Amino acid sequence: MIVTLAKRWSVGGWLIAAILLLPLAALIIQAIPPDPEHFDHLANTVLNSYIITTILLVLLVSIGCLLLGVPVAWLIAMCRFPGHRHFQWAMLLPLAMPGYLIAYVYTDLLDYAGPIQSWLRDWMGWQRPSDYQFPQVRSLGGAAVMLSLVLFPYVYMMARTAFMEQSGALIQASRTMGLSPLRSFFRLSLPLARPAITVGVALAAMETLADFATVSYFAVNTLTTAVYDTWLSYGSLASAAKLSCMMLAAALALILGERFARRQKQRFQNNHGAAGTGVYLLTGLKKWLAFGFCALLLGLSFVLPAAILLDYAFEYFDADRLGALWHHGGNSFLVAGLTAVTTAILALLLQFMSRMSPRALDRWPARVSGFGYAMPGTVLAIGILAPMVWLDNGINYVAEWLSLPLPGLLLSGSLLALIFGYCVRFIAVPLGSVEASYQRLSPNLDKATLSMGHGPSVILQKVHLPLLRRGLLAASLIVFLEAMKELPAALLLKPIGFETLSTYVYQYVSDEALELGALPALLIVALGLIPIVMLNRNLENQP
Considering the domain architecture, whether residues 117 and 230 belong to the same structural domain is answered as yes
- Give the pLDDT band of residue 341 (cuts 50, 70, 90): very high
Considering the domain architecture, whether residues 251 and 339 belong to the same structural domain is answered as no
Question: How confident is the model over 382-414, as pLDDT tens digits?
Answer: 888 888 888 888 888 888 888 778 777 777 778
User: Residue 10 and residue 357: Cα distance in Å, rounded?
Assistant: 8
Considering the domain architecture, whether residues 46 and 165 belong to the same structural domain is answered as yes
Query: In three state form, how does the secondary structure of 381-416 look?
Result: HHHHHHHHHHHHHHHHHHHHHCCCCCCCCCCCCCHH
DSSP 335-357: HHHHHHHHHHHHHHHHHHHHHH-
Considering the domain architecture, whether residues 185 and 42 belong to the same structural domain is answered as yes
Residue 276 has pLDDT above 50, yes or no: no
Considering the domain architecture, whether residues 105 and 189 belong to the same structural domain is answered as yes
User: Residue 98 and residue 214: Cα distance in Å, rounded?
Assistant: 9
Query: Is 526 within a domain?
Result: no
Considering the domain architecture, whether residues 277 and 365 belong to the same structural domain is answered as no
pTM score of the predicted model: 0.81
When divided into structural domains, the chain yields a total of 2
CATH of the domain at 167: 1.10.3720.10
Residue ending a domain, choose from 475, 497, 519: 497
DSSP 53-75: HHHHHHHHHHHHHHHHHHHHHHH
Considering the domain architecture, whether residues 17 and 75 belong to the same structural domain is answered as no
Using CA atoms, how far residue 10 sits from 350, 358, 361, in Å, is 9, 11, 9
Using CA atoms, how far residue 25 sits from 8, 19, 471, in Å, is 26, 10, 31
- Give the pLDDT band of residue 446 (cuts 50, 70, 90): low
Considering the domain architecture, whether residues 368 and 424 belong to the same structural domain is answered as yes
Query: Is 227 within a domain?
Result: yes
| Residue 467: domain span | 1-30+334-497
Query: Is 329 within a domain?
Result: no
Query: Is 195 within a domain?
Result: yes
Question: How confident is the model over 107-132, as pLDDT tens digits?
Answer: 888 887 778 888 888 888 777 777 77
| Phi, psi (rounded to 5 degrees) for 380 | -60, -40
Query: Is 507 within a domain?
Result: no
Question: How confident is the model over 97-109, as pLDDT tens digits?
Answer: 888 889 888 988 8
User: Residue 250 and residue 303: Cα distance in Å, rounded?
Assistant: 34
Residue ending a domain, choose from 497, 515, 531: 497
Question: How confident is the model over 245-261, as pLDDT tens digits?
Answer: 887 777 777 767 666 65
> 141: buried, middle or exposed (CB in 10 Å: 19+, 13-18, 0-12)?
middle
- Tell me, what DSSP letter sits at residue 495? P
DSSP 471-488: HHHHHHHHHHHHHHH--H
- Give the pLDDT band of residue 165 (cuts 50, 70, 90): low
Considering the domain architecture, whether residues 310 and 341 belong to the same structural domain is answered as no
Query: Is 226 within a domain?
Result: yes
Residue ending a domain, choose from 282, 314, 346: 314
Considering the domain architecture, whether residues 407 and 310 belong to the same structural domain is answered as no
Instruction: Give pLDDT, residue 169.
Output: 56
Query: Is 357 within a domain?
Result: yes
Considering the domain architecture, whether residues 57 and 129 belong to the same structural domain is answered as yes
Query: Is 524 within a domain?
Result: no
Considering the domain architecture, whether residues 259 and 295 belong to the same structural domain is answered as yes
